[in-house]
Amino acid sequence: MTNNATGNTTGHPTRLAGDGPVGAPMLRAISMEDVKASLREGWGDFLAHPGFGLFFGGIYLLGGWAILGFLSSIGAPWMIIPLAIGFPLLGPFVAVGLYEISRRRHAGEPVTRKGVLAQVFHQRERQLGWMAFVVMFIFWIWVYQVRLLLALFLGFKSFSSWERFTDIVLYTPEGWGFLAVGTLVGGFLALVLFSTTVISLPMLAAREVDFVTAMITSVSAVVKNPVPLLTFGFIVGVSTLAALLPAFLGLLVVLPVLGHATWHLYRRATSPG
C-alpha cells in the first residue's frame, strides 16, 4: 500500500521525529519493501532515459580505465583492487545528474540535457563540494591503510605483477592475514562512508542545508533503519564489485541504476521538501 502523504510503501508511514539537527528533514521508518521499490524505480528511471545513464556511467568507466592504465604503467596493477573499489564513490557531482533526472520524473517535469547539466554545474556553488572533500578524505584513508597493511603483512615479499600478487595473497599465511585484517578494516571504512553519504548526497542536491547537517541526518537514518539501509549498502557493494569484473563495463548500467535508486530511497526515508 502506498501512502501519498509519506511516499512510504509499507503501510507504516511513521515519522521518527526529533532525530536530526535543526534544518534537517524529519526521518521516516522504512522497510525492505522500500528498498525493493527504490531499486525498481531506479531501474525504471534508467530505462526511461538510458542516454543520460550511459553518459554518467561512461564517466566512471573512463575513470576506471584511466586508473588501470596508470597503475600498469608504474608496475603496480594489483593496486587496481583498492582503487577500483573506492573510485566510484568519488563522483558526487556525477550522481547529482542522476538525482536530478529522478526528481524531474517524479515531479512530472521535462528531463532535458540543459536542465540536468545545469543542476550538476550549480553544485559547485553549494555544500556538495564540501561533502566531496569528506568522501575524498575517507577514500585516502582506505588507500593508505591498504599500503600500511601491505607493509605490515607482505613487506618482505616481492610482487611486481598481478599473478605474483595473487599467489602471495591466496597461498601464504602472510597473505591470509592481509586479507583478514584488510577485510575488517575495509568493512569498517565502508560502513562509515556509506552511513555518512547514503542520505546526505541526495539531500544536499535537493535542499539548501549545510553538509554537517546532511551527514548527521544520514547517520541518524542508518541508525533508525539499520536493516533496510545496510541491506541497500550491501547490494550497492556487491553490484559495484560485479560491475568491475568485465573491464569495468558493468558500471555503464549498474552505477546509474544505483544512483537513481539512492534518490528514491532518500525520498522515502525523509519528509518532503
pLDDT in tens, 47-95: 999 999 999 888 888 877 887 777 777 766 666 666 666 555 555 567 8
Q: Which positions ≥6 away from 203 have C-beta within 8 Å?
A: 25, 209, 214, 217, 218, 266, 270
Q: Answer yes or no: is pLDDT of 165 > 60.
A: yes
C-alpha 163/C-alpha 112 separation (Å) is 47
pLDDT mean across residues, the chain: 80
Q: Is the dihedral of CA 91, 188, 155, 179 positive or negative?
A: negative
Range with the poorest average pLDDT among 54-58, 124-128, 152-156: 124-128
Q: Identify the pLDDT of residue 55.
A: 92
**CB-CB contact of 103 with 206 (8 Å):** yes
Q: Identify the pLDDT of residue 124.
A: 65
Number of other CB atoms surrounding residue 20 within 10 Å: 22
C-alpha 205/C-alpha 222 separation (Å) is 19
Among 105-109, 137-141, 159-163, the range of highest mean pLDDT = 105-109
C-alpha 27/C-alpha 20 separation (Å) is 8
Between residues 238 and 19, the one the model is more confident about: 238
Among 267, 266, 191, 264, CA closest to 233: 191
Secondary structure E strands in 108-164: none
Q: Identify the pLDDT of residue 80.
A: 65
Among 56, 79, 33, 23, CA closest to 208: 23
Q: Which residues of 108-131 are buried (b: 16+ CB within 10 A; e: fewer)?
A: eeebeeeebeebbeebeebbbeeb
Q: Answer yes or no: is pLDDT of 110 > 60.
A: yes
C-alpha 124/C-alpha 129 separation (Å) is 6
pLDDT band with cut points at 50, 70 and 90 for residue 123: low
Number of other CB atoms surrounding residue 257 within 10 Å: 22
Between residues 86 and 261, the one the model is more confident about: 261
pLDDT band with cut points at 50, 70 and 90 for residue 143: confident
- Altogether, the residues listed in the chain come to a count of 273
Written as one string, the DSSP assignment of 7-35 is TBSSS---EETT-S-TTSPPEE---HHHH
Q: Which positions ≥6 away from 161 have C-beta within 8 Å?
A: 77, 78
